Amino acid sequence: MKKCVVIYTEGETDDEFYKKVLSFIKNKIPGNKFKVDVLKSFCITGIGKFQNKLLNKFNNEIIKKYAKTHEIIAVLCYDTDVFEFGVHPPINRSKLEEDLINYGASSVIHIKAKKSIEDFFMLDLDGIVNYLKITKPKNLKGSTGLKKLETLFLKANRIYQKGHKCAGFIDSLNMDIIFPNICNEIKPLCIELGLNKNCNSCKRYVSR
């Protein structure tokens, strides 16, 4: 049976980042081609009825088109600390997974950013300060990646708004640095897309 992988993100910044993740994975696969037949990515924006919006899109745009001919893998990308950082109200992820399976998903993969996706971004501090055109701080205050990133943006007289697109910011991040340091989180997606045969290609950059 053919395979369809569909990825759901929860904000514009997240969507842009995971598109860059996909590009990075593709470049690591021999032949630069995903080992899937259909790959879709959707950003579910807005703070209301998030779960219903996702399920409706899944049913109308994936199940109705591909369920009879494809194995369908749903990928949910989100922050783990949803109470503090989430763009949306807290979501019952277990119930959402159950609903996706009931609709017709073969399996559901959870890509969890601990605590928030900004912690992923902060792995490339050099890229961030170069983008902001500020001096790299010796000591950076902030208990989380989000708070540290907000502090850095303020140093450049700019505001970082979680979930909102920031022109050029994601492009400035070096995935060679970030990617191997989020291996545990991202590996299930890599395997589904066909990177397993070249899995150790970026290990030399690991810093954590």
Q: Is residue 33 over pLDDT 60?
A: yes
The pair of three-digit structure tokens given for residue 187, joined into one six-digit string: 């590996």
pTM for the whole thing? 0.90
The residue assigned the tokens 């745009």 is 61
Q: Kindly indicate the confidence band of residue 140, based on its pLDDT and cuts at 50, 70 and 90.
A: confident
| pLDDT for 48 | 62
Q: Which is more confident, 62 or 200?
A: 62
Taking phi first (over 0 means left), then psi (-120 to 50 degrees means alpha), and beta for anything else, what does residue 2 get?
A: beta
| pLDDT for 178 | 95
| pLDDT for 143 | 83
Non-local (6+) Cβ contacts of 78 within 8 A are 10, 86, 91, 93, 110, 111, 112, 113
Q: What is the pLDDT of residues 38-74, one digit of tens each?
A: 999 999 876 567 889 999 999 999 999 999 999 999 9
What DSSP character marks residue 24? H
| pLDDT for 88 | 58
Average pLDDT over residues 131-141: 92
| pLDDT for 163 | 84
In angstroms, the first-to-last Cα distance of the chain is: 39
Q: Which of 15, 28, 13 is nearest to 180 (CA)?
A: 28
Q: Kindly indicate the confidence band of residue 170, based on its pLDDT and cuts at 50, 70 and 90.
A: very high
| pLDDT for 206 | 45
